Amino acid sequence: MNEEGANVEDLELLSIIGFDGNPHNGLKVHPDGVHIVYPLGNKLAIKNWKSKKEKFLEGHTNVISTVAISNNGLYVASGQINHMGFKASVILWDFKNLNILLQYESHKVRVEAVVFSSCDTYLISLGGPDDSNIVLWNIDVKEALCGSYASDRTSGDAVTLSPMNLRGPCFMTGGECTLKVWTLNVLDRNLRSTNVSLGKIKRIITCIEIDYRDEFAYCGTSTGDIVKVKLNYSHDINILDPVVKPVLIGCFAKFPKKISSKQPLEAERYSQGVGAILLLDDDSIIIGAGDGTVDMVRERDVNPDSLIQKGHGKLINPSLPMLTTIRSVHVGSTVTSAQKLGDELLIGTIQCELYVINMKTFSVKLMATCHTSTIYDIAFPSQYSDVFATASKDDVRVWSVQTSQELLRISVPNFTCSGVIFTHDGKAIITSWNDGTMRAFTPQSGRLIFTILSAHNKGVSAIAITTDNCKIISGGGEGQVRVWDVKPSMQTLQFVLKEHKGPVSSIDVSNTNKEAVTASTDGTCIIWNIESGSRLAILFSSTLFMCVRYHPSSCQVITCGTNRMIGYWEIFDGSLIREVEGSKSSALNTLDITANGKHFATGGSDQIIKVWKYKEGITTHVGVGHAGVITGVRFSPDLRTIVSTSADGAIFLWRCPTMEQPTPPRTADSISSRSTCSIRESKFKNVEYISQISPTQSVRAQGAQEQEPSMCPAGGSVKCYCSGKCKCKAGLNQ
């Protein structure tokens, strides 16, 4: 790659679709009430809640596991996960200047939690199960004061931290059968701990919230109840040690909905444990549970001792019905974060979804979502740039380019979608899955149109379709390439091409619809005649080919792979025309070429997007920001946007550099232009078009149904099982 003397510019980042909800209490609201902070892979995202603009803090080398913000808003702290045997770093950031103030590696493998003291003088970090140490740093002098083991040998690992609100040198830790109050002795530079007396009750503490007077601590547990602890501090805030040992008041659960006079009062615990607690100013409590329940509760004005049930002198049920539910809502997955922003609640879930709950009406709204694992493919509809689709584990999603919001989610649980394409008429989304199945869905409602069962023995790894929508070309993990004849009533297997010895990684069809090129990890690319099922040419290289694309002229193909080289190949005889170094350090995983053939983009394991001039073979623009290996890159049909995806599930939208614009694409009003009569006919036939998708919709559909409309095994044809008027014919070629 000849970049010397070239003017390489930065790609302008438009937006990022991503939110990591896995870290407990990872979503934070800044004290200014305008910004929110949350992890995104190995980066920290700072988002202005009003303008929706984002900034990023880069410095971690692996996934961020915990986040904290100081009370004065000047500092942000974050800890990460590292590989086994290596130390994990904690970074202290300057919020205003977005630079690193302090970085240390005192914990092994994982940083479980970080918090600031209430006086913002100390930064406290807790190591994971392989470390189990507490380390305390003085922020002003930037030095470590002391450290200590977080738990005793007789108890389990500590997993959470919480600072006191009035006493700066004091904090609490909780975990598996352990709950302690800690005090820092600044002069002696050591930590003193006091165990909370829980009696015979055993609990795994998942989160801790302390009231503003340091009088009580509310601890969420995996059992599904709230452990309330009296801290027994003196009224003098200068006295740092508890007057007497902190004690358990009770394990509080919800008051039951149904009461029977014949049976004793049974407290209702939260299913799958308590994931987040938030104390409000009016003494009410927000509780987020593992089953997705978000409750606003209030503690009953009853003596807990009066509710204890005993039989034969023994405690029957330690959970007491002391919480009255005021409002309740369900968000669908485990709650990991709960924060208050003005009159709204921000709820983060383990499914990487960010919900906003109105405090007055308790109505819930999905504000942000993203894939929870690696994204394997991207696709734009033909000549329509307002939406795009992504394929990942468990689901396929359709996104809006303008709003970055999810418009449609098609779920097929426990399976991974390896490829996604739109039919060129916009009537269907064709997907390939690792269970060897190909499924077609309607683009607006996500309704299943047809299924081709057992399309490949080891899963379908790549997929492509001709512009006339008559043929689907699929590649499998066993190396076979199969050509399918697609008709409204049936999908028939035409050819089985058995040249590749390794999995097929990429497929592209020429503009003539007569040829297709397939790339494989066996080091070959093969050009096929898909009309006769014969091989036209084969390309050899000492690499694992990851992606291949036709030049719009259909005279050349361009490839990339693990040897870091971009190859230009002649279709006529399969000869290598030229090679350009695409990366200095790592493999190239994906590429895409513009419709005019003058530029192409690449992405690889170096987490960098590059835009190239095709003829000159030089880099013009570079995009840096991905936190994981780049798995896909696509130009929008109007050449205004570049979309890239990565292994951490993030989607980046970049402004495409100024290029010669292609023929103006059809808009939502003009695409697949039809008369009023044909529109009425399409409604009668229940045909959906991707151009008619609403930019404000949020539809979720189940892709795997018990009775699928039409199915065929790999060697047969599809029979129509529709009762009455055929519905499966409406999907393609109408």
| Chain centre distance of CA 412 | 17
Look at the chain and report how many structural domains it folds into: 2
Ranges under pLDDT 70 in the chain: 1-6, 260-264, 305-316, 659-686, 696, 704-734
Residue 688 and residue 551 share a domain: no
Residue 633 lies in a domain: yes
- Who's near 238: CB < 8 A, 6+ residues apart? none
Residue 682 and residue 660 share a domain: no
Q: Where does a domain end: 611, 637, 664?
A: 664
- Who's near 681: CB < 8 A, 6+ residues apart? none
Residue 482 and residue 408 share a domain: yes
The answer for 561, left when phi > 0, alpha when psi is -120 to 50, beta otherwise, is: beta
Residue 721 and residue 602 share a domain: no
Looking at residue 539, what is its pLDDT?
94
Residue 545 and residue 441 share a domain: no
For 460, the enclosing helix (H) or strand (E) is: strand 460-465
Q: Residue 679 CB: number of other CB atoms within 10 A?
A: 12
Tokens 């961020």 map to which residue?
Answer: 64
Looking at residue 309, what is its pLDDT?
62
Q: Where does a domain end: 635, 664, 693?
A: 664
Distances (CA, A) of 69 to 27, 39, 91: 10, 13, 12
Q: Which is nearest to 445 in space by CA: 666, 703, 668?
A: 703
Looking at residue 257, what is its pLDDT?
80
Q: Where are the beta strands (DSSP E) in 293-363?
A: 293-299, 310-311, 314-315, 319-330, 335-341, 344-349, 353-358
Q: Which is nearest to 270 in space by CA: 329, 209, 223?
A: 223
Looking at residue 109, what is its pLDDT?
94
The amino acid that residue 361 corresponds to is T
Residue 379 and residue 491 share a domain: yes
Strand order in the sheet with 565-570: 545-550, 556-561, 565-570, 576-581
Looking at residue 731, what is its pLDDT?
42
Residue 236 lies in a domain: no
Looking at residue 19, what is its pLDDT?
87
Looking at residue 704, what is its pLDDT?
65
Residue 474 and residue 399 share a domain: yes
Residue 593 structural domain: 1-18+541-664
Euclidean distance between CA atoms 273 and 495, whole angstroms:
53
List, for residues 461-505, the tens digit of each pLDDT value: 999 999 998 999 999 999 999 999 988 778 899 999 999 999 999
- Who's near 373: CB < 8 A, 6+ residues apart? 392, 393, 394, 649
DSSP-derived secondary structure for 389-451: EEEEEEEEEEEETTT--EEEEEEEEEEEEEEEEE-TTSS-EEEEETTS-EEEE-TTT--EEEE
Residue 672 lies in a domain: yes
Q: Are strands 534-540 and 545-550 parallel, antiparallel or unpaired?
A: unpaired
DSSP-derived secondary structure for 268-286: BPPTT-EEEEEE-TTS-EE
The amino acid that residue 41 corresponds to is G
- Who's near 244: CB < 8 A, 6+ residues apart? 232
Give buried/exposed letters for 2-12 (b at 16+ CB in 10 A, else e): eeeeeeeeebe
Euclidean distance between CA atoms 280 and 31, whole angstroms:
15
Residue 378 lies in a domain: yes
Give buried/exposed letters for 408-431 (b at 16+ CB in 10 A, else e): bbbebeebbbbbbbbbebbbbbbb
Looking at residue 440, what is its pLDDT?
94
Looking at residue 683, what is its pLDDT?
38
Distances (CA, A) of 25 to 244, 446, 699: 30, 33, 28
Residue 282 lies in a domain: no
pTM for the whole thing? 0.81
Residue 511 and residue 615 share a domain: no
**Sign of torsion over alpha carbons 37, 40, 45, 50:** negative
Tokens 């493919």 map to which residue?
Answer: 377
Looking at residue 1, what is its pLDDT?
43
Give buried/exposed letters for 583-600 (b at 16+ CB in 10 A, else e): beebbbbbbbbbeebbbb
Residue 598 and residue 509 share a domain: no
Residue 281 lies in a domain: no
Q: Are strands 87-94 and 99-108 parallel, antiparallel or unpaired?
A: antiparallel
Residue 486 and residue 392 share a domain: yes
Structure-block tokens of residue 33: 């009430």
Structure-block tokens of residue 47: 């988002």
Residue 497 exposure: Cα atoms within 13 Å on the Cβ side: 26
CATH code, domain with 593: 2.130.10.10
Residue 597 lies in a domain: yes
Residue 684 and residue 631 share a domain: no
Residue 577 lies in a domain: yes
Euclidean distance between CA atoms 61 and 103, whole angstroms:
12
Burial of 356 (0-12, 13-18, 19+ CB in 10 A): middle
Euclidean distance between CA atoms 336 and 582, whole angstroms:
40
Looking at residue 358, what is its pLDDT?
92
Residue 465 and residue 440 share a domain: yes
**Sign of torsion over alpha carbons 418, 607, 382, 448:** positive
List, for residues 599-626, the tens digit of each pLDDT value: 999 999 999 999 999 999 999 999 988 8
Q: Where does a domain end: 637, 664, 691?
A: 664
Tokens 């996104």 map to which residue?
Answer: 399
